Amino acid sequence: MTDRTIVAGVAIDTRHWIGGRRVGSAETFTDHSPIDGAVLGEIARGGAAEADAAMAAAKAAFPAWAATPRAERARLLHAIADGVEKRLEELAIVETSDNGALLRSHRRGVMPRVAHNFRFFADWLLQLEHEDFETRGHTNHVSWDPAGPCVLITPWNAPLMLSTWKVAPALAAGNTVVLKPAEWSPLTASLLADIAAEAGLPAGVLNVVQGYGGEVGSALVSHPDARRISFTGSVPTAKAIAAAAAANLTPLSLELGGKSPLLVFADADLDLAVDLAVEQYDNAGQVCLSGTRLLVESSVAEEFTRRFVAKASALQQGDPRDEATDIGPNIHQRQLEKIDGFVQRALTAGARAVIGGTPNEELGGLYYRPTLLTDVAQDSEIVQEEVFGPVLVLQTFDTEDEAVRLANDTRFGLAATVATGDRERAERVGAQLVAGTVWVNCFFVRDLQAPFGGSRESGVGREGGDWSFDFYCDVKNTVTAPNGWRNHG
């Protein structure tokens, strides 16, 4: 068994990264490219032993890293960002090969954002403070103490960006990290370990353990030395993680699924609204924030649909490495079958496919046609459950109150998008929507200083800016009396 693989000319170590060195496992799992099914490598498959080793390394490295001055921690995070930028093209092509997202997106947006994640939290750390305040003459001083080893479990749809969204603030806060990447897209996490080591990050501060959630993942989230757990993924997995963490009262941050609405009012700029709706097919629909439920005011629904079909039909589906491609493959055969199952059950129940509705027979493999379904009931599975594929549903409404009612009528609450030309309506509707993020006449505008998370079954907690440090730290208040000091000559 080889410990390395070559993907698009890039050498990648397929072993874990624990305590500043590469560690193999007795077993491996096979990583396939969703583009063409090619084998990308045999990846070390961790279990309880590797989880224990990684947690031990993180625990041992924690005291020194927690005591490292803020300025030095920030310097190292900037050095990691430098390393990401130096290897941006390699990271982009490897991630495209591994998860099938567009290469042009990785080059222009995703990998630059990876570097920005490190730079942002490095800089935020240096200005993190709370003004002292007085209580009956006593001084209150708020500080953020590092919490300890953090277990970070990340998804496959934006592997490196979402990993570093957690890794960067956890490290900035003075914690050590055990990162468990998704088994369907593990490769760039291994490259991140190399970049961090080259930047000078001390051994044991960042550890990467690969494998299946039910094996090494379960061992990590139930580990008594884990002081924080952050997870992005599905609701059922989150419930299992929460149950495991409960035994140790380990604090959790959970960013979960969504079934977000996109509300289009008759007074909206329809061309803008159509652009926003078609954008929901980004990453082959594998975006938790996607507004997959198009709620369109009845008086403009026919015209909206006509324009939508024209624009969506012009999307180019194919190899994500091609600059002309707009939609690539879905991640895995299991995911493709799940997507098609949702669509076929909806069609059997009476839904109508305006466009799409099947895998792309011309391309074969894991490519699913961009799909829009209408004639769907509010309580139907296709309206209520997250598909996580290029599948949208269109419903109509007649009044603002009805639009809000339909928008809020799921168990999720991750995001919402509103298209309207009326500022007062935007404020009124936005205030009533159950969502962690509301976009008005825009989509996917994300600032790292803003709180991010979901309501209801879309998550627990918020991260970003101060909220990240509030989660990854033990926030302390020190109260000092105004007198009682002794003078020492």
Catalytic residue numbers?
A: 255, 288
Beta strand pairing status for 138-146 and 261-264? unpaired
> Where do the H-state alpha helices sit in 314-398?
333-348, 381-384
C-alpha 469 chain-centroid distance: 18
Residue 217 gets which letter from DSSP?
A: I
Backbone angles phi, psi at 245, to 5 degrees: -70, -25
Angle at the Cα of 280 (from 106 to 456), degrees rounded to 5?
105
> Where do the H-state alpha helices sit in 353-436?
381-384, 400-408, 423-432
Residue 327 gets which letter from DSSP?
A: B
Q: How far is CA 40 from CA 47, 67, 188, 310, in A?
A: 21, 40, 12, 37
Dig out the tokens for 181 from the structure.
Answer: 């990447």
Is-contact 116 343, C-beta < 8 A? Answer: no
Neighbours of 66 (CB within 10 A): 16
Report how far residue 171's alpha carbon sits from residue 149's, in angstroms, rounded to the nearest whole number.
10
Report how far residue 416's alpha carbon sits from residue 408's, in angstroms, rounded to the nearest whole number.
9
Dig out the tokens for 368 from the structure.
Answer: 């699913």
